[in-house]
Amino acid sequence: MKPIRILIADDHEMVRNGLRTVLTAHDAGWTICGEAADGRRALELVATLRPHVAIIDITMPELNGLEVTRRIRAQHPETKVVVLTMHDSEQVMHEVIEAGAAGFVLKSDAGKALVTAIARVIAGKTYFTAAMPEMWLFALGGLFVLVTLFLPRGITGLLRRKEATA
C-alpha cells in the first residue's frame, strides 16, 4: 500500500509543527508531503503534490480556507479536505459542508480527533467534530443535510436559509 500523502495548510507555524508531530507519530503509513502558510500556496501544493488529504485552516491569508476548499474540490476532487478551525459555530459548519469538505475538526479537539478524521475521510467517510454534540450530520446521496436536536430552530432555520438562497 502506498503511503497516504497529507498536506497541512495553516498560517501559524506552531500549529503546522504540532499537526506534523501528531500525524507523524501515528504509525499508519502517512506522510506529510507539504505545508503551506497561506491559501494560494496551499492550492499550488495540491496541484503539484496531489495529496490524498489536505488539512485546511479556515482563517488564512491570500485565500481563506473555505475558498481553498471549494477550489480543491472543483479542481482536484480526488483530494479529500479536512477543515481545521477554532470557529465552533453552526454557521461555520454549514459553510464548511457547502464548500465540500469531508471533515471538520476544531483546533481544540485536533490532538485526539484529527487522526480519526483523516482515517475516516481516507476510507471514503466523513468526520465532523464531536465538540458540536447538538448537531447530527447525514449524507444523503452526496447531499449533506445538517439537523440539530432543537428541531424547530434547527430544521426550520436551515430550510429558511436554503429557501432564501434558492
CA distances from residue 92 to 45, 53, 88, 136 in whole angstroms, order as listed: 25, 20, 7, 15
The tens digit of pLDDT for each residue in 19-46 reads 898 888 876 789 999 999 999 999 999 9
Q: Between 71 and 132, where is the model more confident? A: 71
Q: Between 134 and 104, where is the model more confident? A: 104
Pick the CATH number of 4-133 from 3.40.50.1370, 3.40.50.1820, 3.80.10.10, 3.40.50.2300: 3.40.50.2300
* Complete DSSP assignment for 22-52: HHHHS-SSEEEEEEESSHHHHHHHHHHH--S
33's grid cell:
508531503
Contact 7, 33 (CB under 8 A): yes
The tens digit of pLDDT for each residue in 5-21 reads 999 999 999 999 988 98
- For 151, other C-beta atoms within 10 Å of its C-beta total 9
27's grid cell:
504509525
Q: Residue range 85-105: average pLDDT?
A: 85
The pTM is what? 0.77
CATH 3.40.50.2300 in the chain: give the residue spans: 4-133
d(CA 69, CA 135): 22
| pLDDT for the residue 130 | 58
Q: Residue range 36-61: average pLDDT?
A: 96
d(CA 5, CA 131): 27
pLDDT score of 85 more than 50: yes
pLDDT bracket for residue 153 (50, 70, 90): very low
Q: Residue range 84-98: average pLDDT?
A: 82
| pLDDT for the residue 151 | 37
d(CA 142, CA 131): 24
